[in-house]
Amino acid sequence: MAWHVYDIHFAGFERFTGGDYHLARFNVTKDDGVRTWQVAALSDRIAAGVSVGWMATRKGLMVPGNNQTRGQSAFSFTHPALADKLDYPDLASIACPKPMMFLCGRRDALFPVESIEEAFAKLRKVWESQRAGERLVTKLYDAPHEFNLAMQTDAFAWLDEQLKLKNQVGPTTGR
């Protein structure tokens, strides 16, 4: 389960809106937590990201019975020639120093807790090395593979703070 936010400013819409057009797209879908940190890592247009239920080390996921060894979501993360050089948290760390939040469940049958904790430690090391430790949040909840109310409450509050949406209503009009 994932929730991603694309914080995109569209150039050229000034003539329609009188200012910069701001779009935040919220998307909750199965198996897209990985896409949240991929897009955040690869695009300067992403201001912040929340990844729910998709962070662990590759080694920790490559165990008998895991989706990474059975197909299904294994094919959602096929980047030729990267697997032997970079682990999942290494790739997600390309997003640093952007604000990122990673939420996972302790009872998630797809992501072993030890592997999640190891990945979180790798992420923390990178954000701290760039003096951006305060921009990284990693949390484990007593939950299965889901985006429950507690996670949603934490994610929305954190994202609200990051994107400073509290006092903003609609696109900037420049007036």
CATH of the domain at 132: 3.40.50.1820
Distance CA 27, CA 7 (A): 12
Distance CA 155, CA 77 (A): 24
Show Cβ contacts of residue 160 under 8 Å, excluding neighbours closer than 6 positions.
166
pLDDT confidence bin for 72, thresholds 50/70/90: low
Q: Which domain holds residue 6?
A: 2-163
Query: Is 175 inside a domain boundary?
Result: no
Please, which residues bridge with residue 66 across strands? none
Q: CB–CB of 124/138 below 8 Å?
A: yes
Give this prediction's pTM. 0.76
Query: Is 108 inside a domain boundary?
Result: yes
Query: Is 78 inside a domain boundary?
Result: yes
Query: Is 174 inside a domain boundary?
Result: no
Query: Is 172 inside a domain boundary?
Result: no
Query: Is 170 inside a domain boundary?
Result: no
pLDDT confidence bin for 80, thresholds 50/70/90: low
Query: Is 119 inside a domain boundary?
Result: yes
pLDDT confidence bin for 75, thresholds 50/70/90: low
Query: Is 169 inside a domain boundary?
Result: no
Domains of the chain: total: 1
- Long-range contacts, 6-15 (Cβ 8 Å, 24+): 6/39, 6/45, 6/46, 7/45, 7/46, 7/47, 7/48, 7/163, 8/45, 8/46, 9/45, 13/171, 14/174
